[in-house]
Chains A and B, each alone.
Chain A
Amino acid sequence: MATESIQDIKRRIKSVSSTERITNSMKLVSAGKLRKAKAIFEKTNENSHFITNTIQELFNSGSEIPQEYLAGNREIKTTAYIVVTSGRGLCGGFNSNIIKEAQREIDADWEPPVIVAVGSKGKEYFEKHGYEIHSSYLAPPESISFLETKELSAPILEMYDNKEIDEVVLIYTSFISTMEQQVKNEVILPFEVETDPEFMTTNKFVEYEPSVEAVFNYLVPKFVETKIYSAVVESATCEHAARRMAMENATDNAREMLDDLNLNYNRARQSAITDEIIEIVAGSEAQS
Protein backbone atom coordinates (compact mmCIF):
# COMPACT_ATOMS: atom_id res chain seq x y z
CA MET A 1 0.00 0.00 0.00
CA ALA A 2 2.61 2.46 1.20
CA THR A 3 5.03 1.81 -1.67
CA GLU A 4 2.30 2.37 -4.23
CA SER A 5 1.45 5.78 -2.83
CA ILE A 6 5.15 6.66 -2.82
CA GLN A 7 5.24 5.79 -6.51
CA ASP A 8 2.15 7.96 -7.11
CA ILE A 9 3.58 10.92 -5.31
CA LYS A 10 6.84 10.57 -7.18
CA ARG A 11 5.03 10.59 -10.47
CA ARG A 12 3.08 13.70 -9.53
CA ILE A 13 6.21 15.50 -8.35
CA LYS A 14 7.78 14.76 -11.69
CA SER A 15 4.87 16.11 -13.71
CA VAL A 16 4.40 19.20 -11.57
CA SER A 17 8.07 20.06 -11.66
CA SER A 18 8.19 19.77 -15.43
CA THR A 19 5.16 22.06 -15.65
CA GLU A 20 6.88 24.47 -13.33
CA ARG A 21 9.92 24.48 -15.56
CA ILE A 22 7.77 25.25 -18.62
CA THR A 23 5.82 28.07 -16.98
CA ASN A 24 8.98 29.54 -15.55
CA SER A 25 10.70 29.66 -18.91
CA MET A 26 7.56 31.08 -20.53
CA LYS A 27 7.61 33.77 -17.89
CA LEU A 28 11.18 34.67 -18.77
CA VAL A 29 10.42 34.71 -22.47
CA SER A 30 7.42 36.97 -21.90
CA ALA A 31 9.45 39.31 -19.75
CA GLY A 32 11.95 39.71 -22.58
CA LYS A 33 9.23 40.24 -25.19
CA LEU A 34 7.49 42.67 -22.89
CA ARG A 35 10.58 44.83 -22.65
CA LYS A 36 10.91 44.95 -26.43
CA ALA A 37 7.22 45.63 -27.01
CA LYS A 38 7.20 48.36 -24.39
CA ALA A 39 9.97 50.26 -26.14
CA ILE A 40 8.03 50.29 -29.42
CA PHE A 41 4.81 51.11 -27.65
CA GLU A 42 6.25 54.19 -25.97
CA LYS A 43 7.46 55.59 -29.28
CA THR A 44 4.21 54.84 -31.06
CA ASN A 45 2.22 56.43 -28.31
CA GLU A 46 4.16 59.67 -28.66
CA ASN A 47 3.61 59.73 -32.40
CA SER A 48 -0.08 59.02 -32.20
CA HIS A 49 -0.40 61.95 -29.81
CA PHE A 50 1.31 64.12 -32.34
CA ILE A 51 -1.15 63.19 -35.10
CA THR A 52 -4.09 63.70 -32.78
CA ASN A 53 -2.83 67.14 -31.82
CA THR A 54 -2.31 68.19 -35.41
CA ILE A 55 -5.84 67.15 -36.27
CA GLN A 56 -7.18 69.10 -33.36
CA GLU A 57 -5.29 72.18 -34.45
CA LEU A 58 -6.82 71.80 -37.89
CA PHE A 59 -10.28 71.74 -36.39
CA ASN A 60 -9.58 74.88 -34.53
CA SER A 61 -7.97 76.61 -37.49
CA GLY A 62 -10.84 77.13 -39.87
CA SER A 63 -14.25 76.24 -41.10
CA GLU A 64 -13.37 74.64 -44.43
CA ILE A 65 -13.26 71.21 -42.92
CA PRO A 66 -15.32 68.45 -44.54
CA GLN A 67 -18.13 67.68 -42.14
CA GLU A 68 -18.56 63.97 -42.78
CA TYR A 69 -15.99 63.00 -40.18
CA LEU A 70 -17.46 65.06 -37.38
CA ALA A 71 -19.68 63.70 -34.65
CA GLY A 72 -23.37 64.56 -34.84
CA ASN A 73 -23.25 64.79 -38.61
CA ARG A 74 -25.30 61.68 -39.22
CA GLU A 75 -27.29 59.20 -37.22
CA ILE A 76 -25.27 56.28 -35.93
CA LYS A 77 -26.78 53.03 -37.09
CA THR A 78 -24.15 50.48 -37.99
CA THR A 79 -21.02 50.33 -35.93
CA ALA A 80 -17.77 48.71 -36.88
CA TYR A 81 -15.86 47.16 -34.04
CA ILE A 82 -12.16 46.58 -34.26
CA VAL A 83 -11.49 43.98 -31.60
CA VAL A 84 -7.85 43.55 -30.73
CA THR A 85 -7.08 40.24 -29.03
CA SER A 86 -4.04 38.02 -29.05
CA GLY A 87 -3.25 35.06 -31.21
CA ARG A 88 -2.12 32.85 -28.39
CA GLY A 89 -3.60 31.79 -25.09
CA LEU A 90 -2.05 31.29 -21.66
CA CYS A 91 -2.25 34.94 -20.77
CA GLY A 92 -4.79 34.96 -17.97
CA GLY A 93 -7.98 36.93 -18.49
CA PHE A 94 -6.50 39.04 -21.26
CA ASN A 95 -8.61 37.76 -24.14
CA SER A 96 -11.79 37.04 -22.22
CA ASN A 97 -11.85 40.59 -20.83
CA ILE A 98 -11.67 42.05 -24.31
CA ILE A 99 -14.26 39.69 -25.70
CA LYS A 100 -16.64 40.35 -22.79
CA GLU A 101 -16.41 44.09 -23.36
CA ALA A 102 -16.90 43.70 -27.10
CA GLN A 103 -19.91 41.45 -26.60
CA ARG A 104 -21.45 43.95 -24.20
CA GLU A 105 -21.03 46.77 -26.71
CA ILE A 106 -22.43 44.69 -29.54
CA ASP A 107 -25.45 43.60 -27.49
CA ALA A 108 -26.30 47.24 -26.90
CA ASP A 109 -26.69 47.87 -30.64
CA TRP A 110 -29.78 47.27 -32.71
CA GLU A 111 -28.09 46.80 -36.04
CA PRO A 112 -25.80 43.85 -36.72
CA PRO A 113 -22.20 44.94 -36.18
CA VAL A 114 -19.31 44.88 -38.58
CA ILE A 115 -16.47 43.08 -36.85
CA VAL A 116 -12.82 43.41 -37.65
CA ALA A 117 -10.82 40.93 -35.63
CA VAL A 118 -7.16 41.38 -34.87
CA GLY A 119 -5.78 38.20 -33.32
CA SER A 120 -7.29 34.75 -33.75
CA LYS A 121 -8.87 34.49 -30.29
CA GLY A 122 -11.42 37.18 -30.98
CA LYS A 123 -12.09 35.84 -34.44
CA GLU A 124 -12.74 32.32 -33.14
CA TYR A 125 -15.14 33.60 -30.51
CA PHE A 126 -17.25 35.73 -32.81
CA GLU A 127 -17.27 33.10 -35.51
CA LYS A 128 -18.53 30.52 -33.03
CA HIS A 129 -21.27 32.87 -31.93
CA GLY A 130 -22.52 33.37 -35.43
CA TYR A 131 -21.25 36.86 -36.17
CA GLU A 132 -19.89 37.75 -39.51
CA ILE A 133 -16.25 38.75 -39.49
CA HIS A 134 -15.58 41.49 -41.98
CA SER A 135 -11.82 41.14 -42.02
CA SER A 136 -9.11 39.88 -39.75
CA TYR A 137 -5.43 40.03 -39.06
CA LEU A 138 -4.05 36.85 -37.57
CA ALA A 139 -0.26 37.07 -37.46
CA PRO A 140 1.31 37.76 -34.06
CA PRO A 141 0.50 41.37 -33.19
CA GLU A 142 3.95 42.36 -31.98
CA SER A 143 5.31 41.97 -35.49
CA ILE A 144 2.59 44.00 -37.21
CA SER A 145 3.97 46.63 -39.55
CA PHE A 146 2.43 49.96 -40.31
CA LEU A 147 1.75 48.87 -43.87
CA GLU A 148 -0.27 45.93 -42.62
CA THR A 149 -2.49 48.17 -40.48
CA LYS A 150 -3.12 50.14 -43.63
CA GLU A 151 -4.66 47.06 -45.18
CA LEU A 152 -6.97 46.83 -42.19
CA SER A 153 -7.95 50.47 -42.09
CA ALA A 154 -8.40 51.10 -45.81
CA PRO A 155 -11.62 49.02 -46.15
CA ILE A 156 -12.97 50.53 -42.95
CA LEU A 157 -12.50 54.05 -44.23
CA GLU A 158 -14.04 53.10 -47.54
CA MET A 159 -17.11 51.70 -45.82
CA TYR A 160 -17.35 54.83 -43.72
CA ASP A 161 -17.17 57.02 -46.80
CA ASN A 162 -19.84 54.91 -48.51
CA LYS A 163 -22.01 55.29 -45.41
CA GLU A 164 -22.14 51.52 -44.87
CA ILE A 165 -20.92 52.12 -41.34
CA ASP A 166 -21.49 55.19 -39.24
CA GLU A 167 -19.13 54.66 -36.37
CA VAL A 168 -15.81 52.95 -35.78
CA VAL A 169 -15.04 51.68 -32.30
CA LEU A 170 -11.71 50.31 -31.28
CA ILE A 171 -11.70 47.81 -28.42
CA TYR A 172 -8.28 47.00 -27.08
CA THR A 173 -6.32 46.60 -23.90
CA SER A 174 -4.64 49.69 -22.64
CA PHE A 175 -1.35 49.51 -20.86
CA ILE A 176 -1.22 51.15 -17.45
CA SER A 177 1.70 49.34 -15.89
CA THR A 178 3.29 45.92 -16.13
CA MET A 179 0.94 44.86 -13.33
CA GLU A 180 -2.20 46.50 -14.57
CA GLN A 181 -3.96 46.55 -17.92
CA GLN A 182 -7.37 47.86 -18.71
CA VAL A 183 -9.88 47.18 -21.46
CA LYS A 184 -10.64 50.35 -23.32
CA ASN A 185 -13.14 51.15 -26.01
CA GLU A 186 -12.56 54.21 -28.04
CA VAL A 187 -14.61 55.79 -30.78
CA ILE A 188 -12.16 56.73 -33.52
CA LEU A 189 -14.70 57.85 -36.12
CA PRO A 190 -16.52 60.20 -36.24
CA PHE A 191 -14.40 62.72 -34.38
CA GLU A 192 -15.62 64.31 -31.25
CA VAL A 193 -14.41 67.86 -31.71
CA GLU A 194 -13.26 69.52 -28.59
CA THR A 195 -12.99 73.20 -29.12
CA ASP A 196 -10.17 73.72 -26.75
CA PRO A 197 -10.10 77.35 -25.62
CA GLU A 198 -6.34 77.16 -25.30
CA PHE A 199 -6.00 76.42 -28.98
CA MET A 200 -8.16 79.33 -29.98
CA THR A 201 -5.91 81.88 -28.36
CA THR A 202 -2.91 80.88 -30.50
CA ASN A 203 -4.68 82.29 -33.49
CA LYS A 204 -1.63 82.43 -35.69
CA PHE A 205 -1.79 82.27 -39.41
CA VAL A 206 -0.86 78.83 -40.69
CA GLU A 207 -0.08 78.09 -44.32
CA TYR A 208 -1.78 74.97 -45.53
CA GLU A 209 -0.63 73.46 -48.75
CA PRO A 210 -2.16 72.44 -51.13
CA SER A 211 -5.27 73.32 -49.06
CA VAL A 212 -6.80 72.82 -45.64
CA GLU A 213 -9.09 70.24 -47.13
CA ALA A 214 -6.27 68.28 -48.76
CA VAL A 215 -4.25 68.26 -45.56
CA PHE A 216 -7.32 67.18 -43.66
CA ASN A 217 -8.11 64.42 -46.12
CA TYR A 218 -4.58 63.17 -45.75
CA LEU A 219 -4.68 63.32 -41.98
CA VAL A 220 -7.96 61.50 -41.40
CA PRO A 221 -6.89 58.13 -42.80
CA LYS A 222 -3.48 58.69 -41.20
CA PHE A 223 -5.21 59.24 -37.89
CA VAL A 224 -7.25 56.05 -38.19
CA GLU A 225 -4.19 54.06 -39.27
CA THR A 226 -2.08 55.41 -36.46
CA LYS A 227 -4.81 54.73 -33.92
CA ILE A 228 -5.20 51.14 -35.06
CA TYR A 229 -1.47 50.64 -35.25
CA SER A 230 -0.84 52.01 -31.80
CA ALA A 231 -3.75 50.01 -30.36
CA VAL A 232 -2.30 46.81 -31.79
CA VAL A 233 1.15 47.64 -30.48
CA GLU A 234 -0.24 48.56 -27.08
CA SER A 235 -2.31 45.42 -26.95
CA ALA A 236 0.76 43.32 -27.78
CA THR A 237 2.56 44.95 -24.88
CA CYS A 238 -0.35 44.14 -22.61
CA GLU A 239 -0.48 40.59 -23.85
CA HIS A 240 3.10 40.00 -22.82
CA ALA A 241 2.55 41.70 -19.50
CA ALA A 242 -0.56 39.60 -18.87
CA ARG A 243 1.19 36.42 -19.87
CA ARG A 244 4.14 37.20 -17.68
CA MET A 245 1.80 37.66 -14.73
CA ALA A 246 -0.17 34.51 -15.52
CA MET A 247 3.01 32.49 -15.84
CA GLU A 248 4.42 33.91 -12.65
CA ASN A 249 1.28 32.86 -10.80
CA ALA A 250 1.39 29.43 -12.38
CA THR A 251 5.03 29.03 -11.39
CA ASP A 252 4.28 30.09 -7.83
CA ASN A 253 1.39 27.66 -7.62
CA ALA A 254 3.48 24.85 -9.03
CA ARG A 255 6.19 25.53 -6.43
CA GLU A 256 3.62 25.49 -3.65
CA MET A 257 2.28 22.19 -4.90
CA LEU A 258 5.78 20.79 -5.09
CA ASP A 259 6.42 21.72 -1.47
CA ASP A 260 3.23 19.94 -0.36
CA LEU A 261 4.01 16.91 -2.48
CA ASN A 262 7.54 16.68 -1.16
CA LEU A 263 6.22 16.80 2.38
CA ASN A 264 3.73 14.04 1.61
CA TYR A 265 6.41 12.04 -0.14
CA ASN A 266 8.75 12.24 2.85
CA ARG A 267 5.93 11.33 5.21
CA ALA A 268 5.02 8.32 3.12
CA ARG A 269 8.66 7.28 2.86
CA GLN A 270 9.12 7.66 6.61
CA SER A 271 6.02 5.64 7.42
CA ALA A 272 7.17 2.92 5.01
CA ILE A 273 10.51 2.72 6.84
CA THR A 274 8.76 2.66 10.20
CA ASP A 275 6.56 -0.17 8.98
CA GLU A 276 9.59 -2.13 7.86
CA ILE A 277 11.36 -1.63 11.20
CA ILE A 278 8.26 -2.78 13.04
CA GLU A 279 8.16 -5.87 10.86
CA ILE A 280 11.84 -6.64 11.52
CA VAL A 281 11.49 -6.10 15.26
CA ALA A 282 8.38 -8.22 15.37
CA GLY A 283 10.15 -10.95 13.39
CA SER A 284 13.20 -11.02 15.62
CA GLU A 285 11.03 -11.03 18.75
CA ALA A 286 9.13 -13.99 17.41
CA GLN A 287 12.37 -15.89 16.83
CA SER A 288 13.92 -15.32 20.23
Chain B
Amino acid sequence: MATNSVRLEVITPSKLFYRGEVELVIVTTLDGDEGFMAGHVWACKLLDVGELWIQEKGAAKNEWRVAAVSRGFIDVKDSIVIYTDAVEWSEDIDMDRVLSEKAKAEDWLVKHPDADEDSAEMQNAKLILAKAEIRKNVADGGHRH
Protein backbone atom coordinates (compact mmCIF):
# COMPACT_ATOMS: atom_id res chain seq x y z
CA MET B 1 0.00 0.00 0.00
CA ALA B 2 1.47 3.24 -1.06
CA THR B 3 0.66 5.90 1.48
CA ASN B 4 1.37 9.49 0.77
CA SER B 5 4.19 11.07 2.65
CA VAL B 6 4.96 14.68 3.36
CA ARG B 7 8.20 16.48 3.97
CA LEU B 8 8.72 17.54 7.56
CA GLU B 9 11.26 19.94 8.96
CA VAL B 10 11.69 20.67 12.64
CA ILE B 11 13.78 23.75 13.27
CA THR B 12 15.01 25.61 16.33
CA PRO B 13 16.80 28.97 16.41
CA SER B 14 20.22 27.37 16.25
CA LYS B 15 19.79 24.14 14.34
CA LEU B 16 17.82 21.95 12.01
CA PHE B 17 16.51 19.27 14.33
CA TYR B 18 14.87 16.94 11.86
CA ARG B 19 14.27 16.74 8.13
CA GLY B 20 12.61 13.85 6.39
CA GLU B 21 9.62 12.31 4.71
CA VAL B 22 6.88 11.36 7.14
CA GLU B 23 3.49 9.75 6.89
CA LEU B 24 2.00 11.21 10.03
CA VAL B 25 3.05 13.82 12.52
CA ILE B 26 1.18 14.45 15.76
CA VAL B 27 1.71 17.60 17.78
CA THR B 28 0.12 19.25 20.78
CA THR B 29 -1.54 22.47 19.68
CA LEU B 30 -3.07 24.92 22.10
CA ASP B 31 -6.38 23.14 21.58
CA GLY B 32 -5.09 19.62 22.07
CA ASP B 33 -3.34 16.90 20.11
CA GLU B 34 -3.63 17.05 16.38
CA GLY B 35 -2.27 14.84 13.62
CA PHE B 36 -1.19 15.98 10.17
CA MET B 37 -0.80 13.90 7.05
CA ALA B 38 -0.01 14.70 3.45
CA GLY B 39 -2.59 16.88 1.73
CA HIS B 40 -3.73 18.65 4.86
CA VAL B 41 -5.35 22.04 4.38
CA TRP B 42 -2.86 24.85 4.84
CA ALA B 43 -2.61 25.78 8.47
CA CYS B 44 -0.57 27.74 10.94
CA LYS B 45 -1.08 26.69 14.51
CA LEU B 46 0.54 27.47 17.81
CA LEU B 47 1.96 24.62 19.83
CA ASP B 48 1.83 24.11 23.55
CA VAL B 49 4.43 22.37 25.66
CA GLY B 50 3.91 18.82 24.51
CA GLU B 51 4.95 15.73 22.64
CA LEU B 52 5.88 15.40 19.02
CA TRP B 53 5.18 12.07 17.33
CA ILE B 54 6.59 11.29 13.96
CA GLN B 55 5.82 8.26 11.83
CA GLU B 56 8.45 8.12 9.16
CA LYS B 57 7.81 7.02 5.62
CA GLY B 58 7.82 3.25 5.37
CA ALA B 59 7.73 2.79 9.14
CA ALA B 60 5.49 0.17 10.71
CA LYS B 61 2.15 1.27 12.12
CA ASN B 62 3.35 1.35 15.68
CA GLU B 63 6.82 2.66 15.01
CA TRP B 64 7.19 6.22 16.21
CA ARG B 65 9.90 8.70 16.90
CA VAL B 66 9.03 10.77 19.93
CA ALA B 67 10.34 14.15 21.02
CA ALA B 68 9.53 16.74 23.66
CA VAL B 69 8.65 20.19 22.33
CA SER B 70 8.41 23.38 24.31
CA ARG B 71 6.08 25.74 22.47
CA GLY B 72 6.36 26.96 18.94
CA PHE B 73 4.22 26.71 15.87
CA ILE B 74 3.50 24.37 13.03
CA ASP B 75 3.24 25.65 9.50
CA VAL B 76 1.42 23.26 7.20
CA LYS B 77 1.65 23.85 3.48
CA ASP B 78 2.81 21.52 0.76
CA SER B 79 5.42 20.60 3.33
CA ILE B 80 5.26 20.87 7.09
CA VAL B 81 7.57 23.02 9.14
CA ILE B 82 7.61 22.96 12.92
CA TYR B 83 9.35 25.85 14.55
CA THR B 84 10.13 25.62 18.25
CA ASP B 85 12.47 27.13 20.82
CA ALA B 86 13.60 23.79 22.17
CA VAL B 87 13.08 20.16 21.18
CA GLU B 88 14.67 16.91 22.31
CA TRP B 89 14.39 13.29 21.18
CA SER B 90 13.13 11.01 23.90
CA GLU B 91 16.47 9.18 24.02
CA ASP B 92 18.45 12.43 24.45
CA ILE B 93 16.61 13.70 27.48
CA ASP B 94 18.83 14.18 30.48
CA MET B 95 16.60 13.08 33.34
CA ASP B 96 18.92 14.41 36.06
CA ARG B 97 18.74 17.89 34.63
CA VAL B 98 14.98 17.71 34.22
CA LEU B 99 14.53 16.64 37.84
CA SER B 100 16.82 19.32 39.20
CA GLU B 101 15.00 22.01 37.19
CA LYS B 102 11.69 20.66 38.38
CA ALA B 103 12.87 20.66 41.98
CA LYS B 104 14.00 24.27 41.63
CA ALA B 105 10.64 25.38 40.27
CA GLU B 106 8.74 23.49 42.95
CA ASP B 107 10.99 25.00 45.56
CA TRP B 108 10.17 28.45 44.25
CA LEU B 109 6.45 27.74 44.35
CA VAL B 110 6.67 26.56 47.94
CA LYS B 111 8.59 29.67 48.96
CA HIS B 112 6.21 32.03 47.20
CA PRO B 113 2.76 30.63 47.99
CA ASP B 114 1.07 34.00 47.57
CA ALA B 115 2.74 34.99 44.30
CA ASP B 116 0.53 36.67 41.73
CA GLU B 117 -1.01 34.16 39.30
CA ASP B 118 -0.09 36.33 36.34
CA SER B 119 3.42 37.37 37.39
CA ALA B 120 6.25 36.47 35.06
CA GLU B 121 7.97 34.33 37.71
CA MET B 122 4.81 32.38 38.38
CA GLN B 123 4.27 31.76 34.68
CA ASN B 124 7.88 30.75 34.32
CA ALA B 125 7.77 28.32 37.21
CA LYS B 126 4.62 26.74 35.80
CA LEU B 127 6.18 26.50 32.38
CA ILE B 128 9.21 24.73 33.83
CA LEU B 129 6.95 22.29 35.64
CA ALA B 130 4.96 21.58 32.49
CA LYS B 131 8.15 21.07 30.49
CA ALA B 132 9.55 18.73 33.14
CA GLU B 133 6.34 16.71 33.12
CA ILE B 134 6.38 16.35 29.34
CA ARG B 135 10.02 15.43 29.21
CA LYS B 136 9.50 12.84 31.88
CA ASN B 137 6.63 11.34 29.94
CA VAL B 138 8.54 11.43 26.68
CA ALA B 139 11.60 9.85 28.23
CA ASP B 140 9.34 7.03 29.39
CA GLY B 141 8.12 6.56 25.83
CA GLY B 142 5.26 9.03 25.70
CA HIS B 143 1.64 8.78 26.73
CA ARG B 144 0.68 6.65 23.73
CA HIS B 145 2.69 3.72 25.03
Contacts and interface: CB of A to CB of B under 8 A. Distances in A.
Given A209-B31, A218-B73, A43 B14 contact: yes
A197 interface: no
Interface string B1-39: 000000000011111100000000000011100000000
A210 B30 contact: yes
A233 B13 CA distance: 11
B107 to A, nearest CB: 20
A204 B78 CA distance: 11
Interface residues of A, number: 29
A208 B14 contact: no
Nearest to B71: A218
B46 A218 contact: yes
Interface in A127-155: 145-147
Contact of A207 (B16, B44, B73, B83): B44
Interface string A46-76: 1100110010001000000000000000000
A233 B76 CA distance: 28
Nearest to B30: A210
A222 B11 CA distance: 13
10 closest A-B pairs by CB: A207-B43, A209-B45, A146-B13, A206-B42, A47-B11, A208-B44, A204-B42, A43-B15, A229-B13, A218-B46
7 contacts: A47-B13, A50-B83, A54-B83, A208-B44, A218-B46, A219-B73, A222-B83
